[in-house]
Amino acid sequence: MTFRLLLAGVLATFSAEAQTYAQRFWFPDGAGVELHTETTGSTAQTEVRGGGMISLGDLVSRFVQDSRNKTIFAYGLVAEKAREVDTVTIRLTPAKGGDPTVSAVREFTAVKYGQEVKIEILTNPATGERVYDVLRPIEGPSPSPGRPAVQGVWAPKLVVNGQAMAVKSSWALDQFPRLYVPAHGAYFLSWESRPKYRLAGYIEKNRLIFLMDSEYVEMTFASNVLIATEGGPVWVYHDPGFVPDHGGATCLLDSYR
């Protein structure tokens, strides 16, 4: 599928459309921004992947990859609290390294909570398919006051022994996930071998499956779990007596180090 690159920025009221990728970023002054992608105009929507990282200078490096892990669009993202109350200034900067990117610095001043900046990054004239990055200010305290922070926003479908279960998620993508299931305890997951961990599952694109102590667990995410690769093995440590701080009434996917 051949795309041409196009960039446009508009302010719009936030709408709950399909989200295929999401991350949250906090900057040193407490400004927070959530980023997700939207795809419209085609019944067979193209999967795009990407990531963000806080680099030197409090800059988020945003990149979009195709199924072959080739970067097809990239830019820098900076946000800060604006002078007007309950507003955030969002700034996009050209990426370094020769990747397709924005042509110049783009600044959106005083974006209010409940508004969003929508960036059209890819379009296919043959099908009318368009891919957007959507950026919106978020309220709430930073998980790392005074320092940059990044947090993944994943809402997986969870199935345990064939039974679908609701799960709350606060898993940060730069850490390993821990899954708590009531009456089953906690499963600590790792992409690398660790003492006391057993090789018990695998990742395949947006599916994570493991079998531990006769419990079959499957999680399906909105996008690929790992950015750098499409899959790999999963090591698991099971603590059946673990109870989270929230009391243990609901399933919880969070992070551990």
| pLDDT 10s digits, 113-137 | 989 999 888 887 888 888 888 899 9
User: Are residue 13 and residue 130 in the same domain, yes or no?
Assistant: yes
Residue finishing a domain among 152, 184, 214:
152
Burial 77-93 (b: 16+ CB within 10 A, else e): bbbebbeeeebbbbebb
User: Are residue 28 and residue 116 in the same domain, yes or no?
Assistant: yes
Residue finishing a domain among 136, 152, 168:
152
User: Are residue 128 and residue 226 in the same domain, yes or no?
Assistant: no
User: Are residue 36 and residue 85 in the same domain, yes or no?
Assistant: yes
pLDDT of residue 18: 39
Nearest to 13 by CA among 131, 99, 117: 117
Whether 21 shows a pLDDT value over 60: the answer reads: no
User: Are residue 66 and residue 83 in the same domain, yes or no?
Assistant: yes
- 21 contact partners, CB below 8 Å, separation of at least 6: 35, 36, 37, 48, 49, 50, 222, 223
Structural domain including 175 reads: 157-256
User: Are residue 169 and residue 125 in the same domain, yes or no?
Assistant: no
Instruction: Over range 148-166, report the average pLDDT.
Output: 80
Query: What is the number of structural domains in the chain?
Result: 2
pLDDT of residue 40: 79
- Give me the half-sphere count of Cα atoms (radius 13 Å) on the Cβ side of residue 196: 5
Q: Name residue 250's amino acid.
A: T
Let me know: does 118 contact 33? Beta carbons within 8 Å.
no
User: Are residue 161 and residue 148 in the same domain, yes or no?
Assistant: no
User: Are residue 70 and residue 105 in the same domain, yes or no?
Assistant: yes
User: Are residue 68 and residue 91 in the same domain, yes or no?
Assistant: yes
DSSP-derived letter for residue 101 is B
